C-alpha cells in the first residue's frame, strides 16, 4: 500500500481518539460553513463514482468547495475510459498523477478502495465499495449520535432492515463495537448480518451474538429474530439473561433503519413479501419512546411520511451534517488540519498470495472482478487452526489445506506443521485436487513437518 499518504479505506484506519478529534473539527466547521474557504485553496478533489450517488457525492463536493478547493466529477463512469476497458488501477494512477489532490471513490466491487490506495499518489477516500464498507457514512452517523446523545460509549442502538447487503451497516457495527455501544439487530427476515461480519465482531471485539427478548420493541420486531450484540464476554452476558428468553431490550437511544439494497440482491435471495416499516405506530413501543430515528437515505417505504415531523426523526439533519464531517475528513487527509490524537494501532498487515492464485471465493470482490493490476491479498485471523480473510473484501477464505511456497508441500489447516509456515509463505487451497493441480505435494507423502 502507498505509505506516503493516509487513506480512508476502512473505519479501522482511524483510532477512536482520531474520530473524536474529527468530530470536534466538524462541530467547528458547522458553526460557519462559509468561514473556512482559506483552508484548501488550489487543491482539487476528484469524484470517481462507478455507482450512483446523491448525498455522498454532493456532500463531498460541497465540503471541498466550502474549504476553498475545486472538484472534478466523474459521476457516471460509463462516460469515461472505464467503458473502453480501462482498469481501476490505471484510472487511479492517471487521476492521482496531476489531476487531483485527493480521490473520493465509489465502486460496485468490495475492496475497490483498497486496490485504489495501492496505486494512488494521493489520499483515497472510500465512498462505498460494494456491500463491504462505507466509512465516511459511518463517521457521519457516529457524529450524529455524538451530537444528539453526547456520547457513543454505552448507548443502545437498534439496527433494522437489510443488514446483509448494507455496507453502511457493516462499517457502522464495527465502529459501534469499538466504542463499546450496545447493538440490537432486528433484521428483515433473510437479511441478517453476514457471517463474516459476525465472525469479525466475535474475534476482534469479543462480541458474542445472543438471542434478544425484543418484546418492548413492539411491532418493529414482531417478525424478526432479534440478536443482541454487546462488547462483553459471553459469561458476563449470562448474568443478564431473563428466564431463557434472551437478553431483554431496554431503553433505546437510537433506531437506525435501512432500505432493501435491491441492487445487490442475488438469485438466491428469497423475494421480500413485506418489508419492515417504521411509522408513529411502531415508534410508540415502550423501548423506542426516546430513540432518535436515523436513516442513511435514500428511503423507500420503510419510513412512513408521518415520521418526518416527529421530533425524534433526525435523518434529514443526519444528511446535512455530512458536509461538516466530510470537510473535516478532507482537511485532515490534505494536511490542512491536525488531529490531536494518536493513530489506530490496528494490525492491518496484508500478505500477497502467490502470483496466479486467488483464494477468495467472493464473486464481487475486486480481486475477482478486476482482471488486471490486482494481486490477491489475505490477512491472518488465527494461527491455530489457520484462518484467514481476504485483504480486499474481508470475506473468510475457506481453505482446509495450507501450502508453503518454499517447500511446495501442503498441510491440513489445523495441523501443527501448518502453524509453522511463515505467513508470507502461505498459499490456501480449497481441496487436495486444487493443491495437486498447482504442483504442491501432501506433506505426509514426503515426510515433511513444516514449511
Catalytic entry in 56, 136, 168, 369: 56
What grid cell was written down for 125? 477516500
SS3 content of the chain, % helix, strand, coil (to 5): 35, 20, 45
Catalytic entry in 5, 6, 106, 387: 106
The question of whether 167 is a catalytic residue gets the answer no
Place of cell 462480541: 207
Length of the chain: 451
C-alpha–C-alpha distance, residues 145 and 154, integer Å? 12
Residues 6+ apart with CB under 8 A from 440: 403, 408, 409, 410, 427, 429
The question of whether 134 is a catalytic residue gets the answer yes
Catalytic entry in 55, 216, 299, 425: 55
Bond into 298 cis (ω within 30): yes
C-alpha–C-alpha distance, residues 113 and 105, integer Å? 7
Catalytic entry in 84, 235, 274, 445: 84
User: Between the CA of residue 167 and those of 6, 61, 114, 130, 389, what are the distances in Å?
Assistant: 22, 21, 15, 7, 17
The question of whether 289 is a catalytic residue gets the answer no
Catalytic entry in 5, 6, 66, 134: 134
What grid cell was written down for 260? 432493501
Q: Which of 200, 198, 205, 224 is nearest to 213 (CA)?
A: 224
The question of whether 408 is a catalytic residue gets the answer no
- Whether 385 and 413 have beta carbons less than 8 Å apart is answered as yes
Q: Which of 261, 87, 362 is nearest to 95 (CA)?
A: 87
The question of whether 84 is a catalytic residue gets the answer yes
Judged on CB neighbours under 10 Å (0-12, 13-18, 19+), 363 is: exposed
- Give the distance, in angstroms, between the CA of residue 87 and the centroid of all CA atoms in the same chain: 23
The residues annotated as belonging to the active site are: 55-56, 84, 106, 134
Amino acid at each position: 500500500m502507498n505509505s506516503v499518504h493516509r487513506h480512508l479505506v476502512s473505519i479501522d484506519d482511524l483510532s477512536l481518539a482520531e474520530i473524536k478529534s474529527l468530530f470536534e473539527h466538524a462541530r467547528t466547521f458547522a458553526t460557519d460553513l462559509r468561514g473556512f474557504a482559506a483552508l484548501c485553496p488550489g487543491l482539487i478533489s476528484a469524484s470517481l463514482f462507478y455507482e450512483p450517488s446523491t448525498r455522498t457525492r454532493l456532500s463531498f463536493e460541497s465540503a471541498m468547495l466550502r474549504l476553498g478547493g475545486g472538484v472534478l466529477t466523474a459521476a457516471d463512469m460509463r462516460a469515461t475510459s472505464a467503458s473502453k476497458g480501462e482498469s481501476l488501477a490505471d484510472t487511479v494512477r492517471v487521476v492521482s498523477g496531476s489531476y487531483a489532490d485527493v480521490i473520493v471513490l465509489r465502486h460496485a466491487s468490495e475492496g475497490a478502495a483498497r486496490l485504489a490506495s495501492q496505486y494512488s499518489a494521493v489520499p483515497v477516500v472510500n465512498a462505498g465499495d460494494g456491500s463491504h464498507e462505507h466509512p465516511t457514512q459511518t463517521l457521519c452517523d457516529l457524529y450524529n449520535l455524538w451530537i444528539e446523545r453526547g456520547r457513543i460509549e454505552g448507548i443502545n442502538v437498534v439496527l433494522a432492515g437489510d443488514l446483509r447487503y448494507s455496507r453502511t451497516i457493516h462499517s457502522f457495527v464495527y465502529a459501534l463495537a469499538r466504542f463499546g455501544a450496545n447493538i440490537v439487530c432486528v433484521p428483515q427476515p433473510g437479511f441478517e448480518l453476514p457471517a463474516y461480519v459476525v465472525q469479525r465482531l466475535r474475534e476482534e471485539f469479543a462480541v458474542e451474538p445472543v438471542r434478544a427478548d425484543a418484546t418492548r420493541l413492539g411491532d418493529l420486531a414482531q417478525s424478526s429474530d432479534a440478536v443482541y450484540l454487546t462488547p462483553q464476554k459471553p459469561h458476563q452476558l449470562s448474568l443478564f439473561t431473563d428466564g431463557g428468553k434472551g437478553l431483554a431490550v431496554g431503553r433505546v437511544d437510537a433506531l437506525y433503519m435501512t432500505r432493501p439494497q435491491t441492487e445487490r440482491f442475488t438469485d438466491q435471495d428469497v423475494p421480500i413479501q413485506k418489508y419492515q416499516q417504521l411509522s408513529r405506530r411502531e415508534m410508540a413501543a415502550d423501548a423506542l419512546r426516546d430513540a432518535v430515528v436515523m436513516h442513511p437515505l435514500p428511503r423507500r417505504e420503510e419510513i412512513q411520511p408521518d415520521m418526518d415531523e416527529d421530533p425524534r426523526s433526525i435523518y434529514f439533519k443526519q444528511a446535512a451534517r455530512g458536509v461538516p464531517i466530510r470537510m473535516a475528513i478532507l482537511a485532515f487527509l490534505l494536511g490542512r488540519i491536525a488531529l490531536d490524537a494518536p493513530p489506530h494501532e490496528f494490525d492491518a498487515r496484508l500478505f500477497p498470495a502467490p502470483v496466479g492464485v486467488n483464494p477468495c471465493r467472493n464473486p464481487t470482490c475486486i480481486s475477482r472482478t478486476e482482471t488486471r493490476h490486482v494481486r490477491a491479498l489475505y490477512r491472518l485471523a488465527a494461527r491455530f487452526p489457520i484462518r484467514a480473510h481476504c485483504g480486499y473484501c474481508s470475506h473468510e477464505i475457506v481453505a482446509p489445506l495450507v501450502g508453503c511456497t518454499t517447500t511446495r508441500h501442503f498441510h491440513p489447516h489445523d495441523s501443527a506443521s501448518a502453524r509453522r509456515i511463515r505467513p508470507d509463505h502461505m498459499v490456501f487451497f480449497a481441496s487436495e485436487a486444487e493443491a495437486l493441480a498447482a504442483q504442491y505435494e501432501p506433506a505426509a507423502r514426503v515426510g515433511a513437518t513444516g514449511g
